[in-house]
Amino acid sequence: MVPEVRSTAIGPVGPLSSAAATTQRVSVRLAVQGGLVLAVLAAGYFLGSILGLSLSFPGTHVSSIWPPNAVLLAALLLTPRRRWWVCLLAVLPAHLLAQGLMGLPWTAVLINFAGNAGDALLGALLICRLTPEPKRFDRLRTVILIMVFGGIVAPAVMSLVVAQMFAGIGMDGDSWLTWRLRLLTNSLAVFTLVPLILLAASKIRSRDWRIAWRRSLEAGALFAALVAVGFLVFVLPTAGSDQPALLYLPLPLLLWATLRFGVPGACLSMVTLIGLSMWGIVREQGPFVAQHPLANATALILFLNFTCGSHLILAALLSERRQMERDRRQGEALHGAVLTSLHDHVGVLGRDGVILEVNDAWRTFAHGSGGARMQPGVNYVEACRDVASRDGNDSAAQAVVGMEEVLSGKRQRFQMEYAWGPPPQVSWFELSVEGLRRPEGGAVVTHTDITSRKEAELEAQQQRRELAHLTRVAMLGELSGALAHELNQPLTAILSNAQAAQRLLARRPVDLAEVRDILQDIAKEDRRAGEVIQRLRAMLKKEEAKILPLDLNELVRDVLDLAHGDLITRNIALETRLEPRLPLLHGDRVQIQQVLLNLILNACESMSTTRQAGERRLTLVTGRDVDEGLRLSVIDRGTGIPADEMDRLFEPFFTTKEHGLGLGLPICRSIVTAHGGHLWASNNEDGGATFHLTLPLLNGQP
């Protein structure tokens, strides 16, 4: 079994050569296609010439329609400007052949060629200059340009030139007549043929070969009717110059063709009529046989021109309108589809709060929850206001205020979260009201189901609470030795006092005053011990945060009481610089104390390796912060924070302690951030580190 060797196998020359081969194949195909088109062009020119000649008025050399220039013009409009010379070159042999067959002298042939080519060139130039890209040949503007410049201006100018040239070589008598006739026949050809050719070309390019059978039937019927009427008007012997009114007979059919089949309809029906009218002329029948042949010719062509021109304009106008309508409907369909696809409940309100439209999700929800009347036409703001006052629903009241603010233009956006439904099956929604940026105003109201997100949030909050509690307990565990010391002091004082009192009572006389003092002190000391226990208990609790007005200095003092023993044990000197009469802050006592305690213990820990007793100094400073309200600094003289640890200080689970969890600082920061403050650290110039804490003031805070 020999493996097949394919021509696309990868080898040293493989991929490159196949790419080159592809390009070669493509350019060959293009060349063939181009050649085909040029051949069609040349053939069209030739046939057009023949047709034009065969349709000339008897006894004259005037044809009712001169297609070749129109064909050339259409070809030029379809090709890019740099290839125009190719088109001209292609039609030259056709022209020579056609005109040669006519037996015209070669000078006339050349002048005619110059005239025809110049016609098409001038027209194409002007049209291209004035039409924006991309060229759409069913736009009204383009059609008018083609008609005016391609059909009237260019032929007018060139006809003048040609007439002069003929006069120059001594041919043709009445140059004005020539000019007139040439102009009219060219414009007729341009009106009827150019749009047809252009539309046909775009149809071929789009490769849309669908055919609607009904329309084809209708077109067939129309064509038959047109032929019949045309025959009647132009060919039958009876219809003649006595009844010029009969000329209007084809017009309804033309209108039908224009209205139903647009530009191609108008053009093709005109072509039919031209053909029929010429047939009539040849048999010397029809409405245009009364006078001198040239006058007949002029009259007919004029009639045909005006009819065609007006119908063409109508067709283009209609086609444009239809396109706009189609686009509009597509836009609406898109809009509707988008709205329906949204999961959120979306409703659009007008400036007065009345619902303009809603999407399916809204409708479904309204049905399911008994708010079936929240349909377009109902004033949503009023409905919410009713709910707010009837049920005393705060969320609804808030929503009403927010919606009114957005609708009146006071703000662009309003958002709020609210709960819906009876517990425990509570759902959470986010209401978002966004103002519509249009002159008529209004707003888009969106209800998003955030139940799962909210539940996750609440759970996360719960876990944060647990975690904070856990670290708090751990921290207090570290403090246990120091706390024992703290409790020991009052206990010692109590025991010494009590036993002193016993001895005093054994003396004679008894010093009752002294004993009374002693008892008072014992009570005081007992309370002091009780406070330590109480503070400990408060920190060990796992309650929800209670936001209250707090005095920062008082918090500092309480925490120092707890930590006092530790400071003594570690032989750390404490310095406090607490600014008096600081404004109050808003927060949870236990949580903020947790942060302070953590910072203080960390500071002590950092100084545990500092040998010299004089260097073990902890400073606490409180005061106002310029931007942020209140500021507290915990300054130690320890080893400082190494540069590579600075960024990771607040990273969860990052610790340099052997038995540390690494959660203390991250939790502190999250507590501080939740209070609206900031926590950060910096190294001191004279050694050690400082932890800075800012907290916002009571007023003007969330």
Partner 1 sequence: MSSLVAPIVYVLDDDPSVRVGLERLVRSIGLEVRSFPSAAEFLHHSRPDRPACLVVDVRMPGLSGLDLQDSLAGSGWRAPIIFITGYGTVPMSVRAMQAGAVNFLQKPFEDQELLDSIHVAIDRENEARAEKARKQEVERQLAMLTPRERQVFGLVVTGLPNKRIAGLLGTSEKTVKVHRARVMEKMQADSLAGLVQMAYRAGLQPAAA
Using CB under 8 A as the binding rule, whether residue 499 contacts partner 1 is answered as yes
Residue 559 CB, nearest distance to partner 1 (Å)? Answer: 18
Among 494, 585, 599, 630, binds partner 1 (CB under 8 A): 494
Which residue stretch of 92-100, 237-245, 409-417, 568-576 sits at the interface with partner 1 (rule: CB under 8 A)? 568-576
Coil/strand/helix, residue 688: coil
Spatial distance between the Cα atoms of 274 and 293, rounded to a whole number of angstroms? 17
Residue 516 binding partner 1, by CB under 8 A: no
**3 state SS of 445:** strand
Residue 568 binds partner 1 (CB under 8 A)? yes
Under rule CB under 8 A, residue 524 binds partner 1: yes
Establish whether the linkage from the previous residue to 509 is cis, with ω within 30° of 0.
Answer: yes
Nearest approach, Cβ of residue 565 and partner 1 (Å):
7
Gap between the Cα atoms of 334 and 330, Å rounded: 6
- In terms of CB distance, is 465 or 570 closer to partner 1? 570
| Residues contacting partner 1: total by CB under 8 A | 34
Residue 280 binds partner 1, judged by CB under 8 A: no
Q: How many angstroms separate the CA atoms of 256 and 316, rounded?
A: 14
- Please report how close the Cβ of residue 610 comes to partner 1 at its closest, in angstroms: 15
Q: Of 86, 383, 474, 491, which lies in the binding site for partner 1, with binding defined by CB under 8 A?
A: 491
Binding partner 1 (rule: CB under 8 A), the pick from 569, 656, 673, 699 is: 569
Counting contacts by CB under 8 A, is residue 500 touching partner 1?
yes
Q: Per rule CB under 8 A, is residue 283 in the interface with partner 1?
A: no
404, 521, 615, 625: residue in contact with partner 1 (rule CB under 8 A): 521
Which residues have a Cβ under 8 Å from the Cβ of 554 and sit 6 or more positions away?
A: none
| Residue 518 interacts with partner 1 (CB under 8 A): yes or no | yes
CA 297 – CA 177 distance, rounded (Å): 11
Closer to partner 1 by Cβ: residue 342 or 504: 504
Distance of closest approach, residue 600 Cβ to partner 1, in angstroms: 15
Shortest gap between Cβ of 528 and partner 1 (angstroms)? 7
What is the rounded distance in angstroms from the CA atom of residue 332 to the CA atom of residue 352?
23
Q: Which of 613, 623, 648, 682 binds partner 1 (CB under 8 A)?
A: 613
Structure tokens at 108: 């006339």
Closest to partner 1 by CB, 382 or 511: 511
Q: Does 237 bind partner 1 (CB under 8 A)?
A: no
Q: Does 485 bind partner 1 (CB under 8 A)?
A: yes
Whole-number Cα distances in Å, 418 to 84, 332, 348, 394, 527: 70, 33, 20, 9, 47
Cβ pair 578, 624 in contact under 8 A: no
115/123 Cα distance (integer angstroms): 12
> Is 526 one of the binding residues for partner 1 (CB under 8 A)?
no
490 binding partner 1? (CB under 8 A) = yes
Tokens of 412: 């662009």
Q: Give the dihedral of Cα atoms 558, 560, 565, 568; nearest 10 deg.
A: -160
Of positions 210, 373, 438, 503, contacts partner 1 by CB under 8 A? 503
* DSSP labels, 154-215: HHHHHHHHHHHHHHHTT--S-HHHHHHHHHHHHHHHHHHHHHHHHHHHHHHHHT-----HHH
What is the distance between the alpha carbons of residues 198 and 204, in angstroms, rounded to a whole number?
Answer: 10
Q: Which stretch binds partner 1 (CB under 8 A): 358-366, 403-411, 490-498, 644-652?
A: 490-498
- What is the closest distance, in whole angstroms, from the C-beta atom of residue 502 to partner 1 in the complex? 8
The rounded distance, in Å, linking the Cα atoms of 552 and 631 is 9
Question: Is 536 among the residues that bind partner 1 (CB under 8 A)?
Answer: no
Cβ at position 636, least distance to partner 1 in Å: 16
CB neighbour list of residue 551: distance below 8 Å, 6 or more residues apart: 582, 584
Binding flag, residue 444, partner 1 (CB under 8 A): no
The answer to whether 571 contacts partner 1 (rule: CB under 8 A) is yes
Tell me which stretch binds partner 1 (CB under 8 A): 113-121, 194-202, 304-312, 479-487: 479-487
Q: Is 565 in the site for partner 1 (CB under 8 A)?
A: yes
Q: Shortest Cβ distance from residue 619 to partner 1 (Å)?
A: 14
Give me the residue label for tokens 């379809």: 78
- Does residue number 492 form part of the binding site for partner 1 (CB under 8 A)? yes
Piece of 252-260, 270-278, 492-500, 602-610 that binds partner 1 (CB under 8 A)? 492-500
Q: Specify burial of residue 551 (Cβ count, 10 A radius: 0-12, 13-18, 19+).
A: middle
Q: Partners of 585 in the beta sheet?
A: 550, 697
Please give the full DSSP string across 368-406, using - where no structure is assigned: HTT-TT-STTSBHHHHHHHHHHHHT-HHHHHHHHHHHHH
Give the residue carrying structure tokens 């403090």: 479
Nearest by Cα to 620 from 645, 641, 595, 643:
595
Instruction: Closer to partner 1 by CB, 565 or 677: give it.
Output: 565
Smallest separation (angstroms) from partner 1 to the CB of 579: 23
Applying CB under 8 A, which part among 19-27, 139-147, 225-233, 499-507 lies near partner 1?
499-507
Closer of 53 and 504 to partner 1 (Cβ): 504
The region, left, alpha or beta by phi > 0 then psi within -120 to 50, assigned to residue 583 is beta
The one among 35, 481, 660, 687 contacting partner 1 by CB under 8 A: 481
Stretch of 143-151, 206-214, 229-237, 480-488 lying at the interface with partner 1 (CB under 8 A): 480-488
Q: Is 581 in the site for partner 1 (CB under 8 A)?
A: no
Nearer to partner 1, 426 or 500 (CB): 500
Q: Which span sits near partner 1 by CB under 8 A: 1-9, 190-198, 349-357, 489-497?
A: 489-497
Instruction: Give bridge partners of residue 345 from the DSSP assignment.
Output: 447
Q: How many CA atoms lie within 13 A of 333 on its CB side?
A: 6
Q: Is 520 in the site for partner 1 (CB under 8 A)?
A: no
Binding mask 331-360 for partner 1 (x = CB under 8 A): ------------------------------
Question: What are the helix (H) ranges across 207-249?
Answer: 213-230
Considering the complex, state which of residue 451 and residue 496 has its C-beta at the smaller distance from partner 1: 496
Contact region with partner 1 (CB under 8 A), list: 131-139, 330-338, 521-529, 547-555: 521-529
Under the binding rule (CB under 8 A), the answer on residue 495 touching partner 1 is: yes
Task: Let me know the angle formed at the C-alpha of 585 by 584 and 588, rounded to the nearest 5 degrees.
Answer: 130
* Residue count (the chain): 702
Q: Does 640 bind partner 1 (CB under 8 A)?
A: no
Q: Which helix (H) or strand (E) holds 691?
A: strand 689-695
Q: Is 484 in the site for partner 1 (CB under 8 A)?
A: yes
Is 496 one of the binding residues for partner 1 (CB under 8 A)? yes
Asked whether 288 and 240 are in contact (CB, 8 A), the reply is no
First to last CA, the chain: 82
Q: Which of 53, 125, 545, 574 binds partner 1 (CB under 8 A)?
A: 574
- Give the one residue of 305, 497, 610, 622 binding partner 1; rule: CB under 8 A: 497
Q: Which residues are CB-neighbours of 5 under 8 A, at least 6 positions away?
A: none
For β-strands 413-420 and 427-435, DSSP reports them as antiparallel
Position among 119, 138, 320, 525 found at the interface with partner 1 (CB under 8 A): 525
Q: Name the site residues for partner 1 (rule: CB under 8 A).
A: 481-482, 484-485, 488-497, 499-504, 514, 518, 521, 524-525, 528, 565, 567-569, 571, 573-574, 613
